[in-house]
Amino acid sequence: MEGASRRETEIAIAGGGLAGIVAAYELLDRGRRVLLIDKDSRENFGGLAKESFGGIHLIGTPHQRRLHIHDSPELAWRDWQSVADYGQCDDWPRAWGRFYCENSREYIFEFLDQKKIEFLPLVNWPERGIHAPGNSVPRWHIVWGTGHEIIARLLAALDAHPRRTHLDLLFDTEVSGVEMTDGRATGLYSRAIDGGDVRVKAEHVIVASGGICGGDLSCVCANWYKPWGDPPRKLLNGAHRYGDGMLHTQVAALGGAVTHLDLQWHYAAGVHHPAKRRPDDGLSLVPPRSALWLNARGERIMHPGPMPVYGDTRHLVASVLAQPGQYSWQVMNWKIAIKELAVSGCDYMTAFRYKKKLALAASLFFGNKDLVERLIRDCPDDFVVADHLDDLMERMDEKSLYGLTIDRARMAATVRAWDDMIERGPAYFNDEQLRRIANARAYRGDRVRTCKFQRIVDPKARPLIAIREFILSRKSLGGIQTDLQCRVLRAADGQPIPGLYAVGEAAGFGGGGMHGKRSLEGTFLGGCVLSGRLAGRGMAS
């Protein structure tokens, strides 16, 4: 690196997402000097968390207690292990999962609370499980103001920190490697986007560069989970544009263990993002419970039972991947859409994002008409609207791919059978999806956003809406293996590489894959806060 400019610091952090920011904050608290480098521009400081919805998995909070939800670290750990389905040798992932369950209140909730980050009073309940238990109780706490608020508050806290002068920030600069001296990490190699190498000398290095599920998706496809066969022909991108796994490769080349990259957390209800910021840019919908989920031929997906929304995200993905064409349709009507359809992330959920209490209350009582109108307008590639089922099916077929077509007679019969069963009344609900809807409506957090057994072809609920949905790539469950101090462990002997740390999604949120195969949801933001804090503490001690 002839002619490189040089910088010196105590701790160099590669990546300014939530995990890197929290680590920086902890280190300032402990009087350390920090240089944080990010490839992205200053306006995107905060990474994916800034566009996230801000749902966080927490156990034993005052919000749960107020709702008389009896939760405990023991119950949470039981649920966690049930969905994680860890492999025999997953000692570090297990240690991290357990630590999360035992310490989420102190390490995550209290930390955010001290930064004046508030949660909505109603705790949500995703990932209830299907074949194995999921969340036994609601644990998904929504930040008022979404992930945008988390980042805004944390950046304000960094700025107001009494030791703010100990922190240097460098944007538009890509970290390309870790400098090693006698087996110890001693700095970073980096390059400004507009040219010019920057060499950073540091006592410790933290890799906080996020997951592998973004970039150009080549890393996702190269690490595709083998039992699922080949990746689908169309895969939408819902992760970070710089989430290309480059630093994972660097760490592996230095002898660090990088594990479980084939365990990825995708979503089944992706549509093309209207912003089209990159090829196959995706928007992840939160699928309605009361819609019928059909395959590319218009057949109801039964894998083996109906698609259990809020049951097991990985199962939904695997079910769609097992269908012809590996994309799907959700069929509903206006009434279902305004009550149940939502978007993961903050851009479309404006009442949450801009903290509009009245708008939120109105959308809960009268439905979120603005959202549905906006989606229909902005996403013409994937949304189809019609007053009559025949017209709807014809328009769906105009969007059919790979030579597959809707079997209209079969689809019409499926919709009729569904509507007839609803007409017969709850005593005759002989369908798992309807039983799950009944169960969801028993919890008040879900009742407010779940229709009361709504027929699809209902003249009072028109128009009909069909949404063409693709698998959307989002989060890496695997990553750089770390111990509970976030020290990167060597593949050869499991010993820490001196001076080298990893946090957040880069570390599989801790331990190289603390979730195992599945998440209980909200554990991603939570895992970033937890690992960022542990790294800061571990390093300072």
Nearer to ligand FAD by Cβ, of 240 and 487: the residue is 240
Shortest Å distance, C-beta 19 to ligand FAD? 4
Shortest Å distance, C-beta 297 to ligand FAD? 30
Yes or no: say if 186 and 202 are a contact pair by the CB < 8 Å rule.
yes
Shortest Å distance, C-beta 95 to ligand FAD? 19
User: Cis ω on the peptide bond leading into residue 73 (within 30° of 0)?
Assistant: no
Nearer to ligand FAD by Cβ, of 333 and 473: the residue is 473
Residue with tokens 């109906």: 306
Nearer to ligand FAD by Cβ, of 238 and 445: the residue is 238
Of 476, 482, 481, residue with least CA distance to 534: 482
Shortest Å distance, C-beta 501 to ligand FAD? 13
Strands of the sheet with 173-181, listed across from one edge: 5-8, 197-201, 184-192, 173-181
Q: Is 487 helix (H, G, I), strand (E, B) or coil?
A: strand
Shortest Å distance, C-beta 41 to ligand FAD? 9
Of 187, 201, 76, residue with least CA distance to 139: 76
Nearer to ligand FAD by Cβ, of 56 and 461: the residue is 56
List the structure tokens of 530: 């937890």
Of 60, 42, 45, 62, residue with least CA distance to 104: 60
Shortest Å distance, C-beta 411 to ligand FAD? 31
**Which amino acid, 303?**
H
Shortest Å distance, C-beta 529 to ligand FAD? 10
Nearer to ligand FAD by Cβ, of 56 and 251: the residue is 56
HEC sequence for 231-283:
CCCCEEECCCCCCCCHHHHHHHHCCECEECCCCEEEEEEEEECCCCCCCCEEE
In DSSP terms, which residues pair with 164 in a beta bridge? none
Nearer to ligand FAD by Cβ, of 237 and 323: the residue is 237
State the Cα–Cα distance between residues 396 and 385, nearest whole angstrom. Answer: 9
Nearer to ligand FAD by Cβ, of 265 and 443: the residue is 265
Shortest Å distance, C-beta 519 to ligand FAD? 8
- Which helix (H) or strand (E) segment holds residue 6: the answer is strand 5-8
The angle at the Cα of 144, spanning 42 to 525, to the nearest 5 degrees, equals 60
Nearer to ligand FAD by Cβ, of 94 and 353: the residue is 353
How far is residue 57 from each of residues 28, 301, 426, 525, measured CA to CA in Å?
Answer: 26, 29, 33, 8
Chain residues binding ligand FAD by CB under 6 A are 14-20, 37-40, 47-49, 51-56, 147, 174-175, 208-210, 238, 240, 242-243, 246-247, 344-345, 475, 504-506, 522-525, 528
160: number of Cβ within 10 Å: 8
Nearer to ligand FAD by Cβ, of 18 and 389: the residue is 18
Q: What beta strand segments (E) does 477-520 contain?
A: 479-480, 487-489, 496-502
Shortest Å distance, C-beta 442 to ligand FAD? 24
**Helix 408-424 crosses helix 389-398 at what angle (to 10 degrees)?**
140
State the Cα–Cα distance between residues 66 and 120, nearest whole angstrom. Answer: 12
The angle at the Cα of 424, spanning 420 to 429, to the nearest 5 degrees, equals 90
Shortest Å distance, C-beta 127 to ligand FAD? 12
List the structure tokens of 308: 């259990």
Nearer to ligand FAD by Cβ, of 148 and 455: the residue is 148
Shortest Å distance, C-beta 55 to ligand FAD? 4
Yes or no: say if 176 and 190 are a contact pair by the CB < 8 Å rule.
yes
Nearer to ligand FAD by Cβ, of 243 and 478: the residue is 243
Nearer to ligand FAD by Cβ, of 242 and 327: the residue is 242
**Which amino acid, 491?**
A
Shortest Å distance, C-beta 91 to ligand FAD? 22
